[in-house]
Structure 1
Amino acid sequence: MRTPLTAGALLALALAAQPALAKGPATSPNEAATARHYASLIAGSQPNMAELTLFFTQMPKGGDLHHHYSGAIYVEQYVDFVDRQGYCVNKQTYRIETDKALVAAERAKPAAERNCLSSAEIYADDHTWRELLQRWSNKDFFNHGALQPPPDRLFFQTFGYFGPVSNSNFKEGLQELKKRAIAENVSYIETMFKLSPAVANPDFDAKAWQNANDDAAFDAQMRAWFAVLDKDPAFNKTIADFVARIVDSSEGIDDERFTMRYQTYVLRLLNPSLVFSSMVSGFKAAKSSDKIVGVNIVGQESTNISMRDYALHMKMFRFLKSVYPDVKVALHAGELAMGDVPPEGLKFHIDQALTVAGANRIGHGLDLAHETNATGIMQTMREKDIPVEINLTSNAFINGVEGSHHPINLYRKYGVPYVISTDDAGVTRHTLSNEYVLFASRYKPSYAEMKKTSYNSIRYAFLPVAEKQRLTRQLDQRFADFEAKIARLAKTAAKAP
């Protein structure tokens, strides 16, 4: 663990970081005009939200690097998938019924007697439709009169509702995400697409908990089972099938306008054997296909299992990074706020993701100010050029952290690179453009910093250098076109009475 910085060293680091966020004058008349126009929109105590929305909807935003496929699909599309799969939605529980015999029996009933509805029937029944929206997303959470669960519970429960159709129709879902991205000037998405295959092993579970505080014993345990899994034909066949499905689903996505790559992920809510074997399959999948660019870990970080096994999971990543050093890792770490867990639970998650697991990017990093080694964390991320993925809407809804309570200004002040991303835009019903609007209106960065943020989303993508260079050249041209358009708009505004 890195020794925390002294107060003087930390101040020097902050001062050294600041010039990187505001470099010299604009390099072209159009860029200068765009910067002035943008500055006018964020000036004063009440930023011009409507014009900021117009501005950022049109501004090129590079990529979205913290993006969950299943949480990015809007409810409306999932409801359409219900019919495609031959399912129906129970209008009492709002859950999808997948039993084909039950569905057939329901459809044989007169319409007035049906308890399980088709997509068209859901849309036609306004009460059912609105109630479903409130369960499958956060729609109307803050402006309704009905009782609802706490925001974090509501958020994570949504996946159980649309789960039966989120694992099908991948081609259609990815095409919809591509279309939406192009419409809001996003050229790259790196999505957490599929849970990698896993194998249960009760003996591994028992020994893992026994060896939780003995690194040598746990490493030996992982090495032994990895050797077995590595040579297991059945396990390797599931990985090959897994990779083939991702490659097949991605067919037709990439073109001259848009590129998408995929992270596989493990679920931290499972027993150690399932997490480890899923992690093994994820690393092997990433090694075998250039479509799969990294491995992540997902699941609510504040649950009892997540907290109990957090250190074990980080050691699993450390072991597999030693086996597959070229595979990139982006980790959800520190997605916690005061009260989510006891105070001691807020003190080590980001640190271990960096120093134990060797994360190449940190997702959320929300509990930074509470971490024991907070200053060392920022020094490590700055020196090793490890960015944090900022998800403002998600953090506000799930954890109640926003405004000056959000650590984004800590990361910015001390020179930690960052990217702006969406997390689960379908569940929280927003866009990447909206995240830029929130960032600009709340924290008032310069146009130069906003532009750098867009470029950062390509710089820190898990892509080969040549691909980054191609996307950067594309972004250069898109910004030139955008700034010319905004310069003309600003002239029009100046002439208006």
Structure 2
Amino acid sequence: MITKQRCMLAALAIAASAHAAPASTSNEAATARHLASLVAGSEPKMAELTLFFSQMPKGGDLHHHYSGSIYAEQYVDWVDRQGYCVNKQTYRIETSKDVVAAERARPAAERNCLSTAEILADDYTYRELLQRWSAKDFDNHGAIQPPPDRQFFQTFGYFNAVSNANFNEGLQEIKKRAIEENVGYIETMFKLAPFVANADFDARMRQAASSDAVLTDTMRGWLAALEQDAAFNKSVADYSAKITSAHEGIDDERFTMRYQAYVLRLLSPSQVFSSMVGAFKASTSNPLVVGVNIVGQESQAVSMRDYALHMKMFQFLKTQYPKVKLALHAGELALGDVPPDGLRFHIDHALVVAGADRIGHGLDLAHETNAAAIMKTMRERDIPVEINLTSNAFISGIKGENHPITLYRKYGVPYVISTDDAGVTRHTLAHEYVLFASRYKPSYAEMKKVSYNSIRYSFLDAAAKKRLTRQLDQRFARFEADVAGLARRAR
């Protein structure tokens, strides 16, 4: 009888184990409960959220500016290496060899232009420099300050001289930081594509502004000329080669990086158009360059004046290079930045005219005339928006329930979370996940989907996406097992 009962109990145990959830499913459920406990209530547990998202695998960072992602401290280290010095009155880099030599010849106490070591030895100068070369201390000191958007965009002028050198070391530093915070892929806007000026083209584009047919003919004519311009084509080839050289040693089994060529919307029409041509050419010829973007403060006078024209340039070049992917900064505007008319069409034009494959920022959505149609298009065509919470709050003052992520989420528009310029605004991708979770209280399933979205919506080829997705599966399995174990120990 006892033997029979034991057999029955053993059979029941086997049956129960057959129907029990696999360990991976159980761990995922435990991880979901843990995150829910961290965001519950009126005051999310910020320290624990930081720990959670620092460890959580984050597939990639798709809205990432190379020069704005290097921390100012790194740029200071490069001042001596380039043979430069920093003016301690203006905090700008002096690149003239004659000036630097003259400063080195002066007694140390009389120097106005400092080396890296001298900057680091002078605490006042070093702190002031960091406040100009980044957003450090902007919110916690009482000095007279410029408006935050000016503070942000002016930083690039300070460190630009050293950001244009030491590319491989800079990329290696970004890679190191990414691995440390469990990011497997970065798609960075690397450097400005080459351009040339053409006053005749500028004048003809202004004259033809009201006629799309004439605009197209004008662009077609100069594209043909650029195709035959040996100097321009050499500059494009050199640009592509620089990217390939800088990329050496970046990809490995833990990390992958690709590049977007970009153009600057603050330049003349001929410079913008030729730069677009260079960017499209680089994206077509170099497999490391996976897309094209346009950068520069969107509220600037030239940006606003030429916005529609730039979108038509993209539209034309997409007909010539149909396989090139576009991730466009569009609608990075808040009420009051520009007159109200300027808030009503930027995202729409980027989608409908330029044919963007991803939208960067998309902040002015609620003001756009075709907001409902924009969201419908993005949802149906599976076009994501790149959400940059720290950047949006600092530059534009948009955060919390005022941020259009509330609309994108509500109406089913896909999105990714990214950093923008983490060196300038001094944060990490993990911090962006913390902000998102603490403000909007998503489920773990949503946060996990966001991580996978950053691979799904990357401009990588299908094979690379499959490889990185498999890696992400493995990393999440380990992470969820760790969190489940931690949760058990906390009980």
The alignment's TM-score, normalised by the length of structure 2, stands at 0.95
Match of 1:255 in 2: 252
Q: Tell me the residue number matched to 1:487.
A: 484
1:324 aligned partner, one-letter code: Y
Q: State the SS of the aligned residue for 2:412.
A: coil
Task: Report how many aligned residue pairs link the two structures.
Answer: 470
Deviation at 1:113, TM superposition (A): 1.1
Aligned partner of 1:122 in structure 2 is 119
- Displacement of 1:26 in angstroms is 11
Structure 2 counterpart of 1:80, one-letter code: D
Q: By how many angstroms is 1:272 displaced?
A: 0.2
Fraction of identical pairs, as percent: 77
Q: Does 1:195 align with 2:192?
A: yes
Q: What amino acid is the match of 2:235?
A: T
Q: SS of the counterpart of 1:290?
A: coil
Asked if structure 2 preserves the Cα contact closer than 8 Å seen for 1:391 and 1:435, the reply is yes
Amino acid corresponding to residue 333 of structure 2 in structure 1 = L
Larger Rg: 2
Q: Is the 8 A contact 2:260 2:290 kept in 1?
A: yes
Is the CA contact (8 Å cut-off) linking 2:379 and 2:413 kept in structure 1? yes
* 2:211 counterpart residue number: 214
Q: 1:95-122 CA distances to partner (integer Å, 9 max, x unpaired)? A: 0000111111111222111111111111
Give the corresponding residue for 1:307: 304
**Corresponding position of 1:318:** 315
Written as runs of structure 1 = structure 2, the 5 A alignment for 1:146-225 is 146-225=143-222
- 1:360 equivalenced with 2:357 (yes/no): yes
Distance 1:246 1:26 in 2: 44
Instruction: Name the counterpart of 1:423.
Output: 420
- What amino acid does structure 1 have at the position aligned with 2:427? H
C-alpha separation in 2, matches of 1:338 and 1:145: 26
Specify the SS of the correspondent of 2:298: coil
Report the counterpart of residue 469 of structure 2 in structure 1.
Answer: 472
1:58 aligns with 2:55: yes
2:14 maps to which residue?
Answer: none
Select 1:92's aligned residue among 89, 93, 103: 89
Alpha-carbon distance in structure 2 between the residues aligned to 1:274 and 1:67? 23
Aligned to 2:25: 28
Contact 1:26 1:32 in 2 (8 A): no
Tell me by how many angstroms 1:421 deviates. Answer: 0.1
Gaps of 5+ in 1: 1-24
Q: Unaligned regions of 5+ residues in structure 2, if any?
A: 1-21
Partners of 1:189 and 1:261 within 8 A in 2: yes
Corresponding residue number in structure 2 for 1:77: 74
Matched with 2:16 is: none
Cα distance in 1, alignment partners of residues 470 and 334 from structure 2? 39
Q: How far apart, CA to CA, are the structure 2 residues paired with 1:215 and 1:366?
A: 28
Q: Using the TM superposition, give the Cα deviation of residue 247 of structure 1 relative to its aligned residue in structure 2, in angstroms.
A: 0.3
Once the two structures are TM-superposed, the CA of residue 423 in structure 1 deviates from its matched residue by: 0.2
What is the SS of the residue equivalent to 1:67? strand
- 1:492 Cα shift? 1.2
Q: Which runs of 4+ in 1 moved over 3 A?
A: none
Deviation at 1:213, TM superposition (A): 1.7
- Distance between the aligned counterparts of 1:263 and 1:83, measured in 2? 29
Equivalent residue of 1:256, what SS? coil
Deviation at 1:128, TM superposition (A): 0.4
Q: The residue matched to 1:187 in structure 2 has which SS? A: strand
- The equivalent residue for 2:38 is 41
Using the alignment, how far apart are the partners of 2:308 and 2:258 within structure 1? 28
Q: Name the SS of the counterpart of 1:362 in structure 2.
A: strand
1:407 corresponds to 2:407: no
Give 1:450's aligned residue: 447
What is the distance in 2 between the residues matched to 1:405 and 1:467?
Answer: 36
Query: How many angstroms does 1:210 deviate by?
Result: 1.3
Distance 1:26 1:367, change over 3 A: farther
Provide the rounded CA distance (Å) in 2 between the counterparts of 1:184 and 1:383: 33
Is 1:101–2:98 an aligned residue pair?
yes
The SS at the match of 1:64 is strand
Q: Is the 8 A contact 2:24 2:480 kept in 1?
A: no
Take 2:74 and 2:308, find their aligned partners in 1: how far apart are those partners? 38
Paired with 1:185 and 1:27, the residues of 2 have a C-alpha distance of: 20
CA shift, 1:324, in A, is: 0.4
Q: Contact (CA 8 Å) 1:337, 1:399: kept in 2 or not?
A: yes
TM-score (norm 1): 0.94
The reply on whether 1:283 has 2:292 as its aligned counterpart is: no
**How far is 1:27 from its partner?**
6.5
Q: Does 1:383 align with 2:364?
A: no
What whole-Å deviation, never above 9, does each CA across 1:373-402 have from its counterpart, x for those lacking one? Answer: 000000000000000000000000000000
Aligned to 1:4: none
Give the aligned residue type for 1:358. Answer: G
Which secondary structure does the structure 2 equivalent of 1:28 belong to?
helix
Over aligned residues, Cα RMSD in angstroms? 1.0
Kept after mapping to 1: 8 A contact 2:387/2:415:
yes
* In structure 2, distance between residues paired with 1:195 and 1:210: 27
SS in 1 for 2:44: coil
Matched, 1:268 2:265: yes
